[in-house]
C-alpha cells in the first residue's frame, strides 16, 4: 500500500466540503482509504488511528488543508490526488449562485428583520463572530464547539446586559417560533416550553412530546457548559424567564446533564418562583424526590415528555408562598432521614452544610456550630461514641436546639421524631416543651417535626403528634412533605440582573442569518423561514491565530 499526502497551506474549506471530497477520493479506483481534513491536532490523531498519517502530514498545521490517499499503487494514489481540484470545482458549481453577503453587516442590510444569528464557523473564530452579532443586537445560536470558556462567559454577560440570548457555544439545537435551528426534529407547536443544556436531550424530549400528541412553544438550547459553575446558568435563567412570561407556554421542561450543585439550586429556585409547572430532568443528578411544589422530577428524558404532557392537560397555578427569612436547621436522630432531607432541600437551598454531607463542599468545619442551611445527623459517630443514640436520649438535641435559637440567622428548625421499639418511650414529652419555649423566645422561627411511626408503636403515634402540634410544630409524616415545605418557605429565587429579553422576537416569524455550515441555511429555508447565508471565510492573510487574538482584543477594548 502507498500513502500519498498533499498539504495546501492556508487553504480553508468547511467540513461539509471536506467530507464530500474525502468520500469521492475514497471511492476512486484502486484507492483503499482517504482522509481530507483541516490539519488540527485532533484530526491528525484520527488520521493516525486509521493509518493515514505520514511524516509529511504530521508537519501540517491547523490552518492547512491535508489530503491523504492510501492506494494499491503509486499511480492510483497520484491519480486520485490529481482529481482534487476538479472534484472541488464540481461541488462548487452545484451550489446556488444567488448573491451572498461576505459579512454580518452585509447580511443585516439584506435581511433587516433577522433577529437571530446561527454561527457554525470553526471554534477559534466563533467568539469573534458572536460578539459582532450581539453588537448588531441579535440573539445568537452558537453551534461551534471548541470555544474558550472565558469567551463564553464574556459573551453571555454581554448578552444578559443587552437582553439578548447566547445559546451555546456547542449548542446543537433549538426550536424557535416553530423553526428548528441546527439539529432539530420536526414537531408540532403547542404549549410546552423546553430549556436544555444538552442537544440530544432537547431532541429526545421535543420528539417525545410530539410523538405523544403534544406540542412545543419554544425550545432553547443553552450549550452544555451553561450550567457549570463558571458560567452559572446565565442562558438557562434567561430562557426560563422568557418561558415564564410567555402566555403560550403552560408547562416548562428543564433538561441537562448533571449541573453544578449551586447552579442547580439557582435554576430550581428560579423555576420554583415562576409558579408554572416545571419538569426537571438533570440526567444522573440525584433527584430530591418526585415532586417539590411546582417542580416535577422525571426519571428519564422520555418520562420528562410524558410528565409535561400530563401537566399541560391539567395545568393549574402552583401555590407560591412568600418566602421567609433565615436558614434551615435540621437536627436529626435518623441518619437516612437526614440524608433524604438533605438530598431534597439541596435542590433549592444553598449553601447547605452537614456533618454527613452529600458532596465534600457541604462538610461542616465544626460539627458543633451551624452555618447557612445546616442539617446535622446526631446519630453519627461524632456524637454517639460511648453515649446513647439520640433516638433514646434527647440530651444533645435539646442542647443543640437551644444553640440554634441563639443564632439570629435561624429561620426554621426541623426535628425528626422516630417512634417504635427500642426508641425513647415518649420523645414528645421532652421535645414539645423545648419547642414551646423556643416559640416564645423567637417568634420568627418556625418548628417542623418529621414523625416516623405507626399506629401500633408503643409511644402512641397520635399522642406524640398531638403534643408536638400543640407546642406549635408543623407535622409531616414523609420526608417529601418536609422537603417541599422547607423549600417553599426558605428558597429565594436568584436576582435577575441585566435586561429582560423582549418577547416580541418570539412572536414574529423567524428570520435568521447563518454563518458557517451551509446545510443549516438550507434547513432554515426548507422550513419556510427567512434566512440569509453569509459566505464566511477565515480572516484573510497570514497568521490567523494572531488575527483572532487581535479581533478579541479589539472587542474587549470596546466592551
Within 5-44, the residues that bind its own copies by CB under 8 A are 15-16, 18-19, 22-23, 37-38, 40-43
Q: Does 463 bind its own copies (CB under 8 A)?
A: no
Whether the CB-CB separation of 484 and 293 falls below 8 Å is answered with: yes
Cβ 65 to its own copies shortest distance, Å: 10
> Distance (Å, rounded) from C-alpha 298 to C-alpha 305?
9
Between 154 and 193, how does the x/- string for binding to its own copies read (CB under 8 A)? ------------------xx------x-xxxxxxx-----
Q: Does 545 bind its own copies (CB under 8 A)?
A: no
Q: Which of 56, 457, 530, 535 binds its own copies (CB under 8 A)?
A: 457
Cβ 180 to its own copies shortest distance, Å: 4
Return the number of the residue (271 or 347) whose C-beta is nearest its own copies. 347
Q: Does 59 bind its own copies (CB under 8 A)?
A: no
Q: Which residues, 6+ apart, have CB-to-CB distance to 443 below 8 Å?
A: none
Q: Does 336 bind its own copies (CB under 8 A)?
A: yes
Q: Does 285 bind its own copies (CB under 8 A)?
A: yes
The footprint of its own copies on residues 109-128 (CB under 8 A) is: 122-123
Torsions phi, psi for 234 (to 5 deg): -55, -50
The footprint of its own copies on residues 138-157 (CB under 8 A) is: 145-146
Return the number of the residue (267 or 501) whose C-beta is nearest its own copies. 267
Residue 322, burial from CB neighbour count under 10 angstroms (0-12, 13-18, 19+): exposed
Q: Which residues, 6+ apart, have CB-to-CB distance to 297 below 8 Å?
A: 279, 280, 281, 287, 288, 289, 290, 291
> Distance (Å, rounded) from C-alpha 446 to C-alpha 437?
12
Q: Which stretch binds its own copies (CB under 8 A): 99-107, 148-156, 242-250, 417-425?
A: 417-425
Return the number of the residue (157 or 522) whose C-beta is nearest its own copies. 522
> Distance (Å, rounded) from C-alpha 44 to C-alpha 7?
13
Q: Which stretch binds its own copies (CB under 8 A): 53-61, 265-273, 286-294, 507-515?
A: 286-294
Return the number of the residue (108 or 464) whose C-beta is nearest its own copies. 464
Return the number of the residue (160 or 533) whose C-beta is nearest its own copies. 533
Q: Does 61 bind its own copies (CB under 8 A)?
A: no
> Distance (Å, rounded) from C-alpha 217 to C-alpha 395?
56
Tell me the three-class secondary structure of 309-350, residue by residue. Answer: HHHHCCCCCCCCCCCCCCEEEEEECCHHHHHHHHHHHCCCCC
Q: Does 386 bind its own copies (CB under 8 A)?
A: yes
The footprint of its own copies on residues 206-235 (CB under 8 A) is: 207-208, 210-211, 224
Whether the CB-CB separation of 119 and 133 falls below 8 Å is answered with: yes
Q: Does 200 bind its own copies (CB under 8 A)?
A: yes
> Distance (Å, rounded) from C-alpha 309 to C-alpha 161?
34
Cβ 244 to its own copies shortest distance, Å: 24
Q: Does 384 bind its own copies (CB under 8 A)?
A: yes
Q: Which helix (H) or strand (E) holds 302?
A: helix 301-312
Q: Which of 243, 264, 331, 419 binds its own copies (CB under 8 A)?
A: 419
Q: Which stretch binds its own copies (CB under 8 A): 69-77, 81-89, 252-260, 542-550?
A: 252-260
> Distance (Å, rounded) from C-alpha 529 to C-alpha 179?
7
Cβ 135 to its own copies shortest distance, Å: 27
Tell me the three-class secondary structure of 482-517, residue by residue. Answer: HHHHHHHHHCCCCCCCCCCCCHHHHCCCCEEEEECC
Whether the CB-CB separation of 432 and 469 falls below 8 Å is answered with: no
Cell of 200: 440530544
Cβ 454 to its own copies shortest distance, Å: 5
**Number of residues located near its own copies, criterion CB under 8 A:** 106
Cβ 146 to its own copies shortest distance, Å: 6
The footprint of its own copies on residues 469-508 (CB under 8 A) is: 477-480
Query: Within 10 Å of residue 27's Cβ, how many Cβ atoms?
Result: 10
Q: Which of 286, 313, 509, 542 binds its own copies (CB under 8 A)?
A: 286
Q: Which of 98, 385, 497, 541 binds its own copies (CB under 8 A)?
A: 385
Cβ 500 to its own copies shortest distance, Å: 29
Strands 31-38 and 65-71: antiparallel
Return the number of the residue (210 or 442) whose C-beta is nearest its own copies. 210
Return the number of the residue (57 or 182) whose C-beta is nearest its own copies. 182
Return the number of the residue (134 or 419) whose C-beta is nearest its own copies. 419
Q: Does 523 bind its own copies (CB under 8 A)?
A: yes
The footprint of its own copies on residues 352-371 (CB under 8 A) is: 358, 368
Return the number of the residue (327 or 520) whose C-beta is nearest its own copies. 520
Return the number of the residue (207 or 268) whose C-beta is nearest its own copies. 207
Q: Which residues, 6+ apart, have CB-to-CB distance to 364 below 8 Å?
A: 353, 354, 355, 357, 370, 371, 374, 376
User: Which is nearest to 157 in space by CA: 469, 485, 559, 506?
Assistant: 559
Q: Does 297 bind its own copies (CB under 8 A)?
A: yes
Cell of 40: 488540527
Torsions phi, psi for 180 (to 5 deg): -80, 135
Hey, is 132 helix, strand or coil?
Answer: helix
Distances (CA, A) of 185 to 45, 205, 209, 324, 392: 33, 10, 11, 43, 59
Cβ 144 to its own copies shortest distance, Å: 10
Amino acid at each position: 500500500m502507498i500513502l500519498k499526502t498533499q498539504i495546501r497551506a492556508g487553504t480553508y474549506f468547511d467540513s461539509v466540503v471536506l467530507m464530500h471530497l474525502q468520500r469521492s477520493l475514497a471511492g476512486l479506483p484502486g484507492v483503499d482509504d482517504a482522509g481530507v481534513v483541516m490539519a488540527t491536532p485532533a484530526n491528525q490523531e484520527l488520521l493516525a488511528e486509521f493509518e493515514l498519517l505520514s511524516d509529511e502530514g504530521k508537519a501540517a498545521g491547523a490552518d492547512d488543508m491535508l489530503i491523504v490517499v492510501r492506494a494499491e499503487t503509486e499511480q492510483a494514489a497520484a491519480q486520485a490526488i490529481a482529481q482534487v481540484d476538479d472534484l472541488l470545482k464540481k461541488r462548487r458549481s452545484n451550489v446556488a449562485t444567488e448573491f451572498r453577503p461576505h459579512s454580518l453587516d452585509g447580511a443585516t442590510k439584506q435581511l433587516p428583520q433577522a433577529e437571530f444569528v446561527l454561527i457554525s464557523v470553526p471554534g477559534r473564530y466563533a467568539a469573534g463572530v458572536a460578539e459582532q452579532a450581539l453588537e448588531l443586537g441579535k440573539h445568537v445560536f452558537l453551534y461551534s464547539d471548541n470555544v474558550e470558556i472565558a469567551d463564553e462567559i464574556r459573551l453571555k454577560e454581554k448578552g444578559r446586559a443587552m437582553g439578548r440570548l447566547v445559546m451555546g457555544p456547542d449548542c446543537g439545537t433549538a426550536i424557535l417560533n416553530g423553526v428548528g435551528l441546527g439539529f432539530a426534529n420536526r414537531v408540532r407547536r403547542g404549549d410546552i416550553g423546553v430549556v436544555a443544556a444538552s442537544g440530544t436531550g432537547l431532541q429526545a424530549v421535543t420528539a417525545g412530546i410530539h410523538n405523544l400528541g403534544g406540542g412545543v412553544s419554544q425550545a432553547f438550547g443553552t450549550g452544555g457548559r451553561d450550567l457549570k459553575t463558571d458560567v452559572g446558568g446565565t442562558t438557562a435563567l434567561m430562557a426560563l424567564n422568557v418561558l415564564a412570561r410567555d402566555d403560550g407556554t403552560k408547562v416548562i421542561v428543564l433538561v441537562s446533564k448533571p449541573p453544578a450543585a449551586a447552579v442547580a439550586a439557582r435554576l430550581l429556585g428560579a423555576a420554583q418562583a415562576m409558579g408554572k409547572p416545571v419538569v426537571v430532568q438533570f440526567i444522573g443528578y440525584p433527584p430530591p424526590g418526585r415532586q417539590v411544589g411546582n417542580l416535577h422530577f422525571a426519571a428519564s428524558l422520555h418520562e420528562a415528555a410524558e410528565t409535561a404532557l400530563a401537566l399541560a392537560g391539567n395545568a393549574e397555578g402552583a401555590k407560591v408562598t412568600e418566602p421567609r427569612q433565615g436558614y434551615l436547621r435540621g437536627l436529626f436522630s435518623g441518619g437516612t432521614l437526614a440524608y433524604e432531607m438533605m438530598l431534597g432541600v439541596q435542590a433549592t437551598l444553598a449553601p447547605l452544610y452537614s456533618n454527613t454531607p452529600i458532596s465534600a463542599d457541604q462538610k461542616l468545619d465544626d460539627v458543633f456550630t451551624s452555618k447557612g442551611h445546616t442539617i446535622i445527623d446526631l446519630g453519627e459517630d461524632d456524637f454517639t461514641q460511648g453515649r446513647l443514640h439520640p433516638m433514646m436520649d434527647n440530651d444533645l438535641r435539646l442542647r443543640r436546639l437551644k444553640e440554634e435559637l441563639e443564632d439570629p440567622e435561624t429561620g426554621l428548625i426541623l426535628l425528626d421524631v422516630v417512634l417504635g421499639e427500642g426508641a425513647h418511650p415518649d420523645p414528645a414529652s421532652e421535645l414539645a416543651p423545648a419547642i414551646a419555649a423556643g416559640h416564645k423566645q423567637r417568634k420568627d422561627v418556625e418548628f417542623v417535626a418529621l414523625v416516623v411511626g405507626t399506629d401500633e408503636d408503643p409511644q402512641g403515634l397520635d399522642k406524640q403528634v398531638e403534643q408536638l402540634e400543640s407546642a406549635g410544630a408543623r407535622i409531616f409524616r414523609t420526608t417529601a412533605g418536609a422537603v417541599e415545605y422547607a423549600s417553599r418557605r426558605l428558597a429565594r429565587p436568584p436576582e435577575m440582573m441585566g435586561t429582560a429579553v423582549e418577547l416580541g422576537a418570539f412572536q414574529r416569524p423567524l428570520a435568521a442569518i447563518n454563518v458557517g455550515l451551509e446545510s443549516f441555511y438550507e434547513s432554515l429555508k426548507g422550513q419556510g423561514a427567512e434566512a440569509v447565508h453569509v459566505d464566511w471565510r477565515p480572516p484573510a492573510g497570514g497568521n490567523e491565530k494572531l488575527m483572532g487574538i487581535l479581533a478579541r482584543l479589539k472587542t474587549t477594548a470596546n466592551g
